[in-house]
Chain A
Amino acid sequence: MASKLLQKKLSEEFKRDQVLTAKEELACYSYDSGIYTLFHYFEPDAAVLAKSVNDVIKTLAIARELKVPVVPRGAGTGQAGGALAPTGGICLDLSGWKDIEQVMPEDYQAFVRPGVTLDELNKAFAPYGLYLPPDPSSGSACTIGGMAANNTAGQRSLKYGAMDRFVMGLEVVLPTGEVVTLGGKQARVIKSVSGLDMKTGLFVGSEGILGVITGIRVKMAPVPPARAGILFLSADKKSVPALIREVYKAGVVFSACEFVLVQPSAEGTVAKNLSDLRLPSPLEMVLLMEFEGNLPGVAWELNRAKEIAASFAGTSTVAESREQMQRLWFLLDEAEGGVMGSRPGTKRTPGGEDIVVPPSRLIEALDGIQQLVGKAGVACVNFGHAVFGNIHTGLLIKPDDAEEMKKVETLIDGIHALALALNGSTTGEHGTGIVRSPLLTQEHGQAAEMMRRVKNLFDPDNIMNPGKILPADRR
């Protein structure tokens, strides 16, 4: 009944092709790219395709009046369930609002609407030799709004940082209907410490629980001219953190430093995929070290890293240009693909997929994950951002096996608990969402309560994306 009223009100306010109420349409807003929807199915009561500030204001007004949730959504590539509607309400689809309103290459900036994708923005700036450095693998599809809301990082965030380093200003619509510009009312600067930093301190990474991001002013950076790197196949994973430390200490600044764990059961399939390379025995880990910058600098970094790697157990393959680097990235993917071959006939699904541990405890954490995964009787592929100790775990599971899925749920809890036990964090870049919200107090203690107070301040009616970051059980 309530949903009928909602649909009616929205239909009165919006054009026909902006409001979706048909079952078939709403079903397609029941998922994101995470594991959560393999366990649960929820639909919003309606979806609105917003393309202006006014559309957002109107949507929020109806939501306030009827006290129904509003779930902002970009491309739905998130993995934490942030764009799902567990308690119904309105899914606010911002992915079609694609205006790049201001291109300001002389000031290294752009002002864009939330639905612009990372690739679209970079394409618009390519003629000026500028780009937005955070580079999630989902960059072809994910939106700048989603990236800001999730504080998205990428493979090269080691050198450049995540979105919070690049968001210089935001326009947000608060659940109360107020439109606020953060980062300076008229500012077009790329540096400022004026006032409380509400843009990156509060809204970047707020996953849609404080308000709707309707405009993003981002800093763009020059595309580095040179890239090089080493694919190191380690015969002794335990020595990898030391290798990374040595290279780092030598003055080399990685642009990326990615690993794929090769557990013994996967060695055969990985070796097959990498058969063009000289393989060490055993093969325990694949490490990709990348350097980016100007040509002489990169050549020096490559050389230093090569020298240092030579004193560690393993083999190296070198790339001296962007083109050659593509091959190394491809080989890293192949290694990942090889690990997936260790449990054929399964579906790879992110679960407990984004934990971070202190860099020195990377191997300890990986061993812990392998143990938990073994106990659950499934398999997994572990890869990620080595210097940060950020581990992505892709579970190789059989979603139709109800017994197994029960174990998988326990397994995911176990991986998150492991992270906290190792002085780590449950998420490095994918966000808290709905998946990790139950662990908020465990991870943050008293600070979780402060977060709740902040949310109440902005959103007294709790209509903005409830149940995300902060668990739903109480307000």
Chain B
Amino acid sequence: MKNLIDKCNRCGFCRAVCPSLAELGWESASARGRIFLAGRVLSGKAPLTAEVVARLDQCLLCRNCMSVCPVGAKLDQIIMAFRRLEAEELGVAKGKKVILGALADHRDLLSSLAPAASMLEHIPFKERASNGAVFRLNKKARVLPMMGGKPFLSQVQSVEVDNPLKKVAFFTGCHINFVGINVGRSVINVLARNGCSVWVPSAQVCCGVPFFASGEIDKAVGMVRHNIDVLSRLDADAIVYACGSCGTGLREWAGHPEVGPEYLEKAKGLKGKIFEIGEFLIDQLGVKELPALPKPTRITYHDSCHLAFTGVKEQPRRLLKMMGNAEYVEMPDAATCCGSAGLFSVTHYPLSRQINDKKIKSILAVRPQVVTSGCPGCNLHIMDGLNKADNEAVVSHYIELINNAYECTPEAGQ
């Protein structure tokens, strides 16, 4: 840990990209400040107090600082180590505990809540209505669940196509499983429409990221190992995900020191097989054409921090621009954080709202009809912000919109 902390040379470059610093303004809210404070506590120079914790908890773990750090300082690992100490000595905050507990141990309970969550589906066009597609601008009326409202994992097991180009396993992640059910459905449909057989390995568990973020490292490590075991056993050409944060969990967290060399080695076998959905469509399947949207539609795209961190930036945009009738507009500062950051938006709602207000301003500047991103979590938070701003734009995962275009276009031969 000391090495991780010493790595920071306090150049301050990270100040330019930190969403919480941009709102709060004081140095302790910068990555540099957080590393400094965590370092003082972890090296015993300062006591672990609620005061220090409160400051480190203002970090969204968006990793923007890491993408500009010239020396590769690992702020995320430092915060995680700190939060572990915090969890051990002061306990995990109650609110976080309830949610994390549900993800880890009470997935059944969450499952029973899923039907309510399906109200949050975000589909801009009503499915092949008798008089053609109708653009739905009134979000408040947008309550029609497309599926039964049961968790995704319990609904869809597999979709087979003849002579598949690729056999793809879909890692859903918790959000898609419980809340973003239509996103999961869209991933499967779009893959099938592009010649892939898809199945959803039922033994998958949470990617571990929320547990790392809360300092519950042991649980997180267990989940990472479990998923590595499950995914390594699959006879798949590719493993596809559709949530930026899950992507970091799948692609990087095998590298956490506590996951251990044996699993790191095992994870190497998965390297080159794990892709974000847009990345897979563009880079692996070489998709060059998509169906048109039923009506001219002004669309913009928000970069989820974690997705952009793994290098997925251009592919979703290219896909969106490919659809006929899509009028793509780039919002200013598309890559700045939306303030969601998973549990952060629950535990630090006012700050996360403040950060989101800036995002909403950027979005409104380009007057979109549909706001897309590659992260179901970002979408929820953006939707909340648009609602507060009394704006009618629809928010959807970009894959939902693509699927929507497919659904409004009859399949060839039909």
Q: Is A93 a contact of B15 with CB atoms below 8 Å?
A: no
Q: How far is the CA of A348 from the CA of B14 in the complex (A)?
A: 18
Total A-B Cβ pairs within 8 A: 81
CA distance A155 to B7 in the complex (A): 25
Complex-state Cα separation, A403 to B315, whole angstroms: 53
Which residues 96-120 of A sit at the B interface, judged by CB distance below 8 A? 96, 117, 119
Q: Does B93 contact A (CB under 8 A)?
A: no
A137-150 contact mask (Cβ, 8 Å, vs B): 1 or 0: 01011100000000
Chain B residue with minimal CB distance to A347? B6
CB 8 Å contact bits of A6-40 with B (1 = contact, 0 = none): 00000000000100101111011111110001000
Alpha-carbon gap, A29 to B28, bound state (A):
8
User: How close is B131's CB to chain A, nearest CB, in angstroms?
Assistant: 44
CB of A47 closer than 8 Å to a CB of B: yes
**What residues of chain A lie closer than 8 Å to B12, measured between beta carbons?**
33, 75-77, 138, 141-142
The A170-207 residues at the B interface (CB cut-off 8 A) are none
**Residue among B6, B11, B14, B36 making CB contact with A28, cutoff 8 Å:** B36
Residues of chain B lying within 8 A (CB to CB) of residue A315: none
In the complex the two chains form, is A140's CB within 8 Å of B28's CB?
no
Among A20, A47, A75, A142: residue with most chain B CB under 10 A: A75
Alpha-carbon gap, A349 to B24, bound state (A) = 29
Contact B6 A399 (CB under 8 A): yes
B89 interfacial by beta-carbon distance below 8 Å: no
Give the number of chain B interface residues (Cβ < 8 Å).
28
How many A residues, CB 8 Å from partner?
A: 32
Question: Looking at the complex, which one of A25, A347, A349 makes contact with B26 (CB distance below 8 Å)?
Answer: A25
Whether A49 contacts B25 by the Cβ 8 Å rule is yes
Q: Is the interface of B mostly helix, strand, loop or mixed?
A: helix
CA distance A450 to B293 in the complex (A): 74
Task: Give Cα distance in the complex from A33 to B36, angstroms.
Answer: 12
Query: Interface digits, B186-227 against A, CB 8 Å rule (1 contact, 0 not)?
Result: 000000000000000000000000000000000000000000
In the complex, the answer to whether B27 meets A28 with C-beta atoms within 8 Å is yes
B11, closest chain A residue (CB): A33
**B10 on the interface (CB 8 Å rule)?**
yes
B37 contacts chain A at the CB level, 8 A cutoff: yes
Interface flags, A220-239, vs B, CB<8A=1, else 0: 00000000000000000000
Report if A95 contacts B (CB, 8 A). Answer: yes
The list of the 8 closest CB pairs from A to B, nearest first, reads: A96-B25, A28-B33, A28-B27, A28-B28, A77-B12, A140-B16, A141-B15, A141-B12
> What would be 7 A-B contacts, judged by CB atoms less than 8 Å apart?
A28-B28, A31-B36, A33-B12, A117-B16, A141-B12, A141-B16, A349-B9
New contact pairs (20) apart from A23-B51, A141-B12, CB-CB < 8 Å? A20-B26, A24-B28, A24-B49, A25-B28, A27-B37, A28-B28, A28-B30, A28-B33, A31-B10, A75-B15, A76-B10, A77-B12, A77-B13, A95-B25, A138-B11, A138-B12, A140-B13, A141-B11, A141-B15, A142-B12
